Amino acid sequence: GTCNLIKHIENCALFGVPVVVGVNRFKTDTDAELQIVIDAARAAGAADVVICTHHADGGAGAKQLAEAVIAACQQPSQPHLLYPDELSLEEKIRLVAKQVYGATDIELSPLVVTKLAQYDQLGYGKFPICMAKTPLSFSHDPTKKGRPTDFILPVRDIRVSVGAGFVYPLCGNIMTIPGLSIRPGFFDMDVDDDGRIVGLS
């Protein structure tokens, strides 16, 4: 419900930027229901809240949202990062876990502790972090909906993308997908003259 929306608005505000909320209106939604969402978003600090119907009306249904985003971009703001590069990787993880997700703390596996020391020795300690966790919850547990509190965020592994210049902690049971090769496979996929799909193997 609205507690999840409010947390998202608060998270965006952590970075010093105005927030515009787009609310999808479906034909089963009542004005009273939409007003609850609008009021909650405004109370949480949203710069604007716009009812949208682009799923039904195409681009015309998102015109007001686009105008609201343009207006928000023209407001004075002071965007900033959540942490300085000099903060240790462990503290960066802890900061994101506590401030963005609402965790009480983090729990690092022995593997992560070892890797953090290695990354620091190799000069990766100033890299930013990109947390890998379920998108279904602010916590690591996809069944914890809304705005979970009083949880410890378990970090079971951590990896570094040296070329891209960031470190990504793996939280809970999240899995990562392999990156694309120089030539992605979809270039070789097609449908032949008989309607058969080719290039999948």
pLDDT at 28 (0 to 100): 95
pLDDT at 187 (0 to 100): 84
Kindly give the parts of the chain with pLDDT less than 50: none
* Token duo for residue 86: 């000099």
* Token duo for residue 196: 């058969």
Tell me: the pLDDT tens digits for 83-105?
Answer: 999 999 999 999 999 999 999 99
Give the whole-angstrom CA distance, residue 179 versus residue 167. Answer: 15
* Token duo for residue 185: 């496979």
Identity of the amino acid at 58? G
Identity of the amino acid at 101? Y
* Token duo for residue 37: 């969402």
φ/ψ region of 152 (left if φ > 0, alpha if ψ in -120 to 50, else beta) reads beta
Give the whole-angstrom CA distance, residue 131 versus residue 145. Answer: 19
- Per the confidence metrics, is the pTM higher than 0.95? no
